[in-house]
Amino acid sequence: MSERTGEASVREPSPLWEVFVRARRGLSHTHVGSLHAPDAELALRNARDVYTRRQEGVSIWVVPASEITASSPDEKDAFFDPAADKVYRHPTFYEVPDGVAHL
């Protein structure tokens, strides 16, 4: 069995990677979860084991979690609130001239 050190040494885990998988019939890559791996190549191998069960014909992306910039939950209102209450921003005040097809 693997040897254990006597003192309570906390080992640094490998870096965290985010995993995106496109299924065989899928149109786009979907975030499926994360895992630890020492480098990108092993992250890819681990992702195949953990998230795809080695199916043929899937595409996997791995990205170091540290590379991802996420929107802040605190800014949610400013970020995502639709402009529903600002009718002047809705393109509904135009008369469409006759003869304009396919608009």
Contact residues: another protein, CB under 8 A: 1-3, 13-14, 35-39, 41-42, 45-46, 49-50, 54
* Site of tokens 């890559």: 29
CB nearer to another protein: pick between 50 and 65? 50
CB nearer to another protein: pick between 31 and 36? 36
Euclidean distance between CA atoms 63 and 100, whole angstroms: 47
Q: How far is the CB of 1 from another protein (least distance, A)?
A: 6
CB nearer to another protein: pick between 33 and 89? 33
Contacts of 96 (CB under 8 A, 6+ apart): 103
Q: How far is the CB of 34 from another protein (least distance, A)?
A: 11
Task: Give Cα separations from 48 to 13, 58, 59 (angstroms).
Answer: 20, 9, 9
Euclidean distance between CA atoms 68 and 74, whole angstroms: 18
CB nearer to another protein: pick between 65 and 79? 65
Token pair for 49:
């084991």
Q: How far is the CB of 36 from another protein (least distance, A)?
A: 6
Q: How far is the CB of 77 from another protein (least distance, A)?
A: 38
